[in-house]
Chain A
Amino acid sequence: MKRLFATLVALTALLFFGSLVTGPAGFTPIESIKALLSSDQSPITMVMQEIRLPRAILGLAIGAGLGIAGAAMQGYLRNPLADPGLIGVSASAALGAVLAIQTGFAAAWALGLPISALSGAAAGVLIVMLLSGPQGSTLTLILAGIAVSALAGALTTLVLNLSPNPFAANEIVFWTMGSLADRSMTHVWLAVPFIAVGALIIASTARGLDALTLGEDAAAAMGVRPARIRLALILGTAAIVGAGTAVAGSIGFIGLVVPHILRRFVQARPSALLWASGLGGAAMLLAADIAVRIILPSKDLKLGVLTALVGSPLFLHLIYRTKRQGL
């Protein structure tokens, strides 16, 4: 377990550094780090401190958040297909964010954007959990997720098409695929506190999630209250996904892929899977964000394209296995 922790921390740190030194403006890693720590007003300092640092921080925080949220939902629903992106939580968060931007709520109040996205995410996760029930049968979970995704996506598209702004309609792809391009420190301050609080709330459910693996009754006998866990999970997931989506659009599959890969290293213990998925999610999003800058530096390739390329085959594989088990 210690080795896993050390490996994941090292990998994440390496990718964080990689994210800082990757970009269309080519200067050496040493120059980059010097500029990052300097306080002059030179162009390189501007690039490092105002463009690349916020991008790397957001990649780290949002990736970690999505990993934790995915692991927690899979633990609670005892279903490996639960992922905030797949079951419509990200799509509802995007709808909340788009509404806040288009109504001017986001401009009127600094916290308007994350709060609105968070409310959208909370509504999405609440609907899915109510529809699928605490047992989380695969069929109802996926069906509820599809319905919520489709509705939120359609409403987002409608709002953007109604906008008088000629650029709004082109932004549908950002809200469905996600991107970290050209973010600033303002976005970091908007998103990271919410993600941190959400992660802490979810961490508080760790012991309960472990107990739940023994079944609902055994967990209740151990003093675990599933209703309390569910509330914490809804709030925590909404805070993480809402804040992340508000500044980077919906990024799918991280919450699905990462817990799946790491589960066997932590002997399938949900509490250990939480922190492991946090680190793994950060590493995966940072890697994806480096890749979009290397593959198509000038085109602002969306993050969702890469995470889906990795995630979809795995998703299909999971469904195939679920089917074989006769569920």
Chain B
Amino acid sequence: MQISKIINLASALTLVGAVAHADAPSRVVSINLCTDQLAMLIADDDQLISVSKLAADPRSSAMAEQAADLIPNSALAEEIYLLDPDLILAGTFSSRATVSMLERLGIPVILFDPAYSLDDVRDRMIQMGDALQQPDRAAELIAEYDASLAAYRAEITERPRAALYYQNGYTSGDSTLAGQILATAGFDNIAEDAGYPYGGFMPLELLALNNPDAIITGTPYPGASRSDEILDHPVVDHLRDRLPQAVFTDRDWVCGTPYVLRAIEDTAQLRRTMTGATE
């Protein structure tokens, strides 16, 4: 605590934004899985006190270990108020009732739109940097992020056709974050040809007819369900059997954070193996 304060002070003195930094929020609570992860990446030590319960679940969160050290919350107004926060971070689609209640109680709330594209991810990092008054950390992350994206885009020579296929036959098109991850990793998305630019329920027949070179399926959840069954249908199995390795959409695909780079890397690795390209 003491040491980090000294470091903070030292960096603050050298920076232009020194005044703003001095009254940066110091008890921040995040109630949305995606703002949780962005906040953990950008916040200063001790600045963030609580994140949502989901953030500690390794199935949905890329930063479960870091989240384990923070207080988990269930996004209920009462428990959050008792944490005595000076800033709440929430998603625009998360718990409207909680958010308006907290606003009525006089606690500042900053809302984050979900990321639908890789550019959105950059915007969210800037927004988070501003919210936490850590713009330099955000800028650092963004510089790395942009460099990695440029490198992925530069290496593509051949674009095989791929399908994203989830439980119940849901697919994601190019106008979604998952679709953008797929495109940046060097695949053309068949959802576009099949008429689902935003995604939707694509019948198994159309998947088979569009005959993608690669198929990337949703991670099976624990506790069996009929919805998962479609991912083991002979048609899907047949498409998967042709691939050198199975790729699943997992926690790295869920949120607009720099972890999408990991999802791109996994998917790009599949493309490299398929096309025989070297890194």
Contacts and interface: CB of A to CB of B under 8 A. Distances in A.
Interface in B185-215: 200-201, 203-206, 208-211
Contacts of B206: 24-25
A299 B201 contact: yes
Contacts of A167: 167-168, 221, 225-228
Contacts of B211: 43
A184 B238 CA distance: 13
A174 interface: yes
A45 B180 CA distance: 31
Contacts of B223: 102, 163-165, 168
B104 interface: no
A262 interface: no
A165 B222 contact: yes
A51 B205 contact: yes
Interface in B234-268: 234-235, 238
Given A43-B208, A51-B205, A185 B225 contact: no
B228 A165 contact: yes
Given A23-B203, A51-B208, A298-B203, A182 B221 contact: no
B230 interface: yes
A47 B234 CA distance: 10
Given A24-B203, A167-B221, A51 B235 contact: yes
A101 B225 contact: yes
B167 A23 contact: no
B201 A298 contact: yes
Given A47-B208, A51-B205, A167-B167, A182 B225 contact: no
Nearest to A104: B224
A293 to B, nearest CB: 9
The bracket for how many chain A residues form the interface is 20 to 34
A106 B233 CA distance: 16
A251 to B, nearest CB: 15
Nearest to B233: A184
B129 interface: no
Nearest to A182: B204
B227 A182 contact: no
Contact of B224 (A44, A106, A299): A106
Interface residues of B, number: 26
Q: Which of B200, B201, B224 has the most CB of A within 10 A?
A: B224
Contacts of B222: 164-165
Interface string B11-28: 000000000000000000
Contacts of B228: 165, 167
Contact of A174 (B200, B224, B226): B226
B173 interface: no
Contacts of B208: 25, 43, 46-47, 50-51
A326 B225 CA distance: 47
A168 B203 contact: no
A219 to B, nearest CB: 43
B169 interface: yes
Contacts of A101: 224-226
Given A182-B204, A298-B200, A43 B234 contact: no
A47 B201 contact: no
Nearest to A163: B223
A297 B224 CA distance: 27
A210 interface: no
Given A46-B235, A46-B238, A165-B221, A51 B226 contact: no
A38 interface: no
A53 to B, nearest CB: 11
A184 B234 contact: yes
Contacts of B169: 182
A24 B227 contact: no
A204 B75 CA distance: 62
A216 interface: no
Contact of A102 (B203, B209, B221, B224): B224
A165 B167 CA distance: 11
A50 B226 contact: no
B209 A44 contact: yes
A171 B225 contact: yes
A168 B225 contact: yes
Contacts of B201: 298-300
Which 10 residue pairs are nearest across A and B when measured between Cβ atoms? Answer: A167-B227, A165-B223, A164-B223, A25-B205, A165-B225, A168-B225, A43-B211, A25-B209, A46-B208, A163-B223
24 contacts: A24-B203, A24-B206, A25-B205, A25-B206, A25-B208, A25-B209, A43-B209, A46-B208, A46-B235, A50-B208, A50-B233, A52-B205, A163-B225, A165-B221, A165-B222, A167-B168, A167-B226, A168-B227, A184-B233, A185-B234, A186-B234, A297-B203, A298-B201, A299-B201
Interface of A: 23-25, 41, 43-44, 46-47, 50-52, 101-102, 104, 106-107, 163-168, 170-171, 174, 181-182, 184-186, 297-300
Given A24-B203, A50-B208, 17 more contacts: A43-B209, A46-B208, A46-B235, A47-B208, A47-B209, A50-B235, A51-B205, A101-B226, A102-B223, A164-B222, A165-B227, A167-B221, A167-B225, A168-B223, A168-B225, A170-B168, A298-B203
